[in-house]
Structures are given as C-alpha cells and as structure tokens.
C-alpha cells in the first residue's frame, strides 16, 4: 500500500471530536461542544464565534429578520438585543411589524395544530376560516386582532403622519413603534411593547422595504385613498446607505432570506467597504439559485462581504438556531 501522506496538500490533521450532552450544561458550553463535531453542529459553533465578535461596540450590526419570526415566539429575543445595544439597524418584513404591533396593543398568538386527528389539513383550514382564525403553520391568530390593529394604525399612526407629506417607510415604522410603546403603557398590556417600540425607544432605525406585502401595507394603502397620507419608498435608501458608508466595521446577522436579506447585503454595494462579519440562519438550499439560500460566500463575489470577512451559513429552522446562537454569544461576552 502506497503512502500518500506527503501528497496531502489540503489535508490538516484535525480529527472530529464528539459533542457532549450532559445535565447542567450551559448553552455556551453546548455550542462549544458542537465545535468538536461536524456538519450543522460545527456551523452553529462557528456562527456563535462570529456573532460574538459582531457584538463588540465598534461593529455596526445590521439585523435582517424575515419569515414568521415574531408570531412564532422570537419577538423578545430581537427586542432585547435592541435594548442592549446589539442591533444598530433592523430590516424586517411588514408581517413581522404587523404581528409585533398586534401583541404590543393586547393581541396574542396561540398554539395550534397543522392537522388535527380525524381531519385533513384542508378540512381543518376550512373550519378555521369559518371560525375566523388565521393559521401560520402551528400558530393561530384570531382575525379580530387585525381589526384592532387597523384601528390602532388609523387612530395612532397614520393620522399623525398626514401633515408631513410623503414620509419614508422608516419614519412610518418609527411612528408605529412610538404608538405601540404608548398604547402598551397606557392600556397596561401584560405583553411587552416589543420590537418596534424598543427600536423607537433606543433610536434604532427599522427598515421595511416590502411593507406593502403585508396587512400593514394594505392598511396604509386603504388609508391613503381617503387622506393625504402617502409613503416615499425610496426615501430610506440614503439613510441606510449612509450608515453603511460611515461604519468603521460592519456585521450582518441575517435570519431567513427574501427582501430583508438582500436589503441588508445590498447596502454595501454603494459603500467603499463591505461587511467584515456575516451570519445567515436559513432553511433554503443554495443549489436552487435563489437569494434566500445563497451562501454568504457567494455574496463575497458581489462585493457585499470583504474578501477576508468571517462568515457562515447555518441551514436549519431559525426558530431553533436563533435562540441558541444569541444565547451562546451573549454568554461568551458575559451578558
């Protein structure tokens, strides 16, 4: 048998270890243990390592939040990151803004079922339709909460913006955050005031470039039909690109894909620099050619990441990976 040891130019002697799962482990210890393993476990470990560095004070952190992260229970994680100064820019969807606001003013999402015993999924959804309940996989939302949200927008948000002319989307989310905070306190709502309120209270801009694709967008359009209220969809571009341009060091935490992911990454296309750090949490595969699953290494070819940027993509359910990565990173920096 020939000895190829001297020919192994790409091989490094770094044997796989074995992760631990023992009573009393902290989340940080579990993430460190993942570093001994391979496949997704090692990706999680690297994500924690990179995100920990992103939380340093001298890194401007852009946070992209797509999908149904708020109605599925990830709301407090994001609002606490904002309050603790770990998000400098938030880019999200109109849906997340909608569901965040519903909880801020007293609505709730509920545990549900995808297919109850004895029914097909279609039969179940037809029953939910008759009962006035909307379903997001295994989460339920009573439709009356949307009526509550509509009144909130008309009375507390849109009416206050009418005299400002064409407002930016960021200005609208700022006003929505203010209204959420004030109504939450005034009505003594048991639930926390949430993401937009935290952003308003801590001067963190929230960009929602595709807000029209949501109940928030529908309500804004309907209100604009009988008032002077209108939105300038391009107005945010100057502000967010200025933040990117002026950042000494920048990092991107991208949860999910779609518009928030691209909006976060494309800000660097008009900046002399690019992201120094990036972490992506997604379930979409890269081999379909879609943006949502595209690797962050691919983004490097576009000039969105520096050539020597630290980055990793984790392919798993973000409702599992986001809490794990954030908790382990916070543990590492002593929070």
Lowest mean pLDDT among 183-197, 251-265, 286-300: 286-300
Q: Does 307 participate in catalysis according to the annotation?
A: no
Q: Indicate the SS3 state at residue 292.
A: coil
Q: Indicate the SS3 state at residue 94.
A: helix
Residue 4 has pLDDT above 70, yes or no: no
Angle formed by the axes of helices 318-333 and 75-83, to 10°? 30
Mean of the pLDDT values across residues 36-60? 93
Share of the chain above pLDDT 70, in %: 98
Lowest mean pLDDT among 16-20, 79-83, 137-141, 199-203: 16-20
Query: Which residues are 91's β-sheet partners?
Result: 64, 207
Q: Indicate the SS3 state at residue 170.
A: helix
Residue 6 has pLDDT above 70, yes or no: no
Residue 291 has pLDDT above 70, yes or no: yes
- pLDDT recorded at residue 314: 95
- pLDDT recorded at residue 137: 93
Mean of the pLDDT values across residues 133-157? 95
Lowest mean pLDDT among 1-10, 42-51, 73-82, 135-144: 1-10
Residue 39 has pLDDT above 60, yes or no: yes
Share of the chain above pLDDT 90, in %: 82
Residue 335 has pLDDT above 80, yes or no: no
Residue 140 has pLDDT above 80, yes or no: yes
- pLDDT recorded at residue 1: 52
Q: Where are the domains of the chain?
A: 41-105+144-333
Residue 56 has pLDDT above 90, yes or no: no
Whether residue 158 contacts residue 220, with contact meaning beta carbons closer than 8 Å, is answered with yes
Q: Indicate the SS3 state at residue 251.
A: strand
- pLDDT recorded at residue 78: 98
Global pTM value: 0.94
Which band of pLDDT confidence, cut at 50, 70 and 90, is reported for residue 57?
confident
Average pLDDT for the chain? 93
Catalytic residue among 108, 261, 304, 307: 304
Residue 2 has pLDDT above 70, yes or no: no
Give the integer Cα–Cα distance in Å for 177 and 191.
15
- pLDDT tens readout for residues 72-82: 999 999 999 99
Residue closest to 304 by CA, chosen among 293, 295, 313, 315: 295
- Where would I find the H helices in the chain? 27-34, 39-54, 75-83, 94-104, 121-131, 144-152, 159-161, 169-186, 195-201, 215-224, 236-246, 258-266, 296-301, 318-333
Residue 5 has pLDDT above 70, yes or no: no
Mean of the pLDDT values across residues 310-318? 95
Q: Please, what CATH class does the domain formed by 41-105+144-333 belong to?
A: alpha beta
Mean of the pLDDT values across residues 103-116? 94
Q: What is the per-residue burial (b if ≥16 Cβ within 10 Å, else e) of 132-167?
A: ebbbeeebbbbeebbeebeebbeebbbeebeeeeeb
Mean of the pLDDT values across residues 316-332? 96
Give the integer Cα–Cα distance in Å for 30 and 6.
36
Mean of the pLDDT values across residues 93-99? 97
Mean of the pLDDT values across residues 290-303? 89
Which band of pLDDT confidence, cut at 50, 70 and 90, is reported for residue 85?
very high
């Amino acid at each position: 048998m020939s000895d190829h040891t001297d020919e192994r130019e790409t091989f490094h002697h770094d044997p796989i270890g074995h992760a631990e799962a023992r009573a009393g482990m902290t989340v940080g210890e579990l993430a460190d243990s993942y570093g001994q393993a391979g496949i997704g476990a090692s990706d999680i470990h690297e994500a924690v390592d990179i995100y920990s560095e992103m939380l340093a004070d001298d890194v401007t952190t852009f946070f992209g939040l797509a999908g149904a992260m708020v109605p599925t229970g990830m709301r407090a994680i994001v609002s606490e990151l904002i309050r603790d100064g770990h998000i400098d820019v938030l880019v999200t969807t109109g849906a997340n803004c909608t569901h965040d606001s519903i909880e801020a003013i007293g609505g709730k999402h509920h545990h549900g079922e995808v297919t109850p015993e004895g029914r097909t999924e279609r039969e179940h959804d037809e029953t939910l339709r008759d009962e006035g309940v909307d379903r997001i996989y295994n989460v339920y939302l009573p439709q009356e909460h949307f009526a509550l949200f509509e009144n909130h927008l008309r009375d507390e948000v849109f009416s206050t913006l009418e005299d400002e002319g064409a407002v930016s989307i960021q200005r609208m989310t700022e006003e929505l955050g203010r209204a959420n905070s004030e109504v939450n306190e005034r009505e003594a709502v048991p639930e926390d005031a949430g993401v937009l309120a935290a952003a308003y209270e801590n001067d963190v801009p929230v960009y929602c470039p595709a807000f029209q694709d949501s109940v928030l967008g529908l309500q804004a359009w309907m209100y604009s039909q009988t008032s002077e209220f209108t939105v300038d969809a391009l107005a945010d571009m100057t502000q967010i690109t200025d933040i990117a341009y002026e950042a000494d060091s920048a990092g991107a935490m991208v949860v999910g894909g779609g518009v928030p992911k691209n909006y976060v990454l494309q800000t660097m296309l008009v900046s002399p620099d690019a992201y120094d750090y990036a972490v992506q949490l997604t379930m979409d595969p890269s081999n379909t050619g879609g943006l949502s699953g595209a690797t962050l290494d691919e983004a490097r070819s576009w000039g969105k990441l520096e050539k020597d940027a630290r980055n990793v993509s984790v392919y798993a359910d973000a409702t599992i990976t986001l809490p794990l990565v954030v908790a382990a990173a916070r543990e590492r920096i002593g929070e």
